[in-house]
Copies of this chain bind each other. A is one copy, B any other.
Amino acid sequence: MKQRKIILSEKEIPEKWYNIVADMPNKPLPPLHPATKEPIGPDALAPLFPMELIKQEVTPDKWVEIPDEVRNIYSIWRPTPLYRAYGLEKALDTPAKIYYKYEGTSPSGSHKPNTSVPQAYYNKQEGIKRITTETGAGQWGSALAFACNHFDIQCEVYMVKLSYEHKPYRKIMMNTWGAKVFPSPSNATEIGRKILAKNPDTTGSLGIAISEAVGEAAANADTKYALGSVLNHVKLHQTIIGQEAVAQMAKAGDMPDIVIAPFGGGSNFAGLAFPFLRLNFEEGRNIRCIASEPTSCPKLTRGVFRYDYGDSVGMTPLLPMYTLGHNFVPAPIHAGGLRYHGAGVIVSQLLKDKLIEAVAHDNIEVFEAGVTFARAEGIIPAPEANHGIATAIAEAKKCKEEGVSKTILFNLCGHGNFDMKAYEDYFAGNIVKHELTKEEINASLAQLDTPEIAI
């Protein structure tokens, strides 16, 4: 019997997160104040985040210690297994060796609790009573509800209306962990009411939901905000994925040539890829790291590198990012977690410096990939995860065409138990391609009046 899973013991849960900024040849440009357009310091973030997270956001230190209490909660599902995908290799008849890291074993079903747990922990340390957030597919909201329940903090979630309607069970899951959930745009906030007045039929977007959650936190002293991706400290926390994977690949006596992860705001990708990029920096390795995004929201492959807002109404600091423009409303694809207009700062700088790569897949291709995977490996993936699978399959097919064996590792970031409606739509032929025209992208970018970056 061939070994399928490479597992680690609880003792092998990493004790530190890895901060890639320390190793980057070009450090990210500073955030700018949304009004003055001047560089801002960490203090500007104080209304939204506890000080310890702000420190992590800007730290130059290469390693950040993981508190014991966080590792203790991590141990509910971590370390997660690394799989050799024998079934998929056989189905593709490829000479490639394919591995995947499976993050769907967490109670909320994705990689998101890797950061929700430390975020709730640091808020608790600073006496915060309530945390607001947005959620796309519901993965992040569930993860934060799970973490807040553990630390007895009230959790309030603004859920992109499209997902709220597609995924009622995600809402109940959050309720079960004690969280309140609003469809976004909602009547619960001023920002939501304004947007609804203008466009009552909007399906919402992550940008709008962020605006609502940030607005609530900014207006209340006992309330902070939590973000599930994009920011540096979120990426930092997710590096626990890749650190485990580095140890597991070593245990397997192997090392990936290609590392792949789905791309929404960047934390999924950062989580798996950064610890392998560390090996590139430290050991001169040449591991290709590929971010996989939807063709309906292609900021990395078709956006511009420019300062832009993190939200849709211009409340957040301006960040130097690959963006489609903060007013861009992506098509209503099922991979709600990837419907975000911009890319996190660190990932954007790495892409600009050609230290990582990006590809885009259309909606039909990713569901074909997901069903191929489910039938070959047994696990039904989340629609977001299907993007990484599509890239892995494309690379494995290339290996077959070229007659070479490469080692491919991808992040199976979550299971699809709450996404059955998406598969139903796929089987019914109701999934369509969303290829943006040059005109559509230009129209969105033309609205940008944010500072450009000299390249």
Contact = CB atoms under 8 A, between A and B. Distances in A.
A173 B380 contact: yes
Interface string A134-159: 00000000000010011000000000
A148 to B, nearest CB: 11
A68 B175 CA distance: 43
Contacts of A27: none
B72 A2 contact: yes
A172 B420 contact: yes
A168 B419 CA distance: 12
A177 B3 contact: no
A85 B448 CA distance: 53
A10 B4 CA distance: 8
A424 B171 CA distance: 10
Contacts of A107: 378-380
A379 to B, nearest CB: 5
A285 interface: no
A2 B13 CA distance: 13
A253 to B, nearest CB: 16
Interface stretch (A39-47, A325-333, A369-377): A369-377
A380 B176 contact: yes
A4 B420 contact: no
Interface string A165-209: 000110011011110000000000000000000000000000000
A427 interface: yes
A444 interface: no
B105 A72 contact: no
A71 interface: yes
Q: Which 4 A-B pairs have the closest CB atoms?
A: A169-B420, A417-B417, A172-B420, A107-B378
Given A1-B71, A109-B417, 7 more contacts: A5-B75, A7-B7, A76-B377, A146-B378, A172-B427, A173-B420, A176-B420
6 contacts: A4-B76, A76-B377, A76-B379, A149-B375, A173-B380, A175-B424
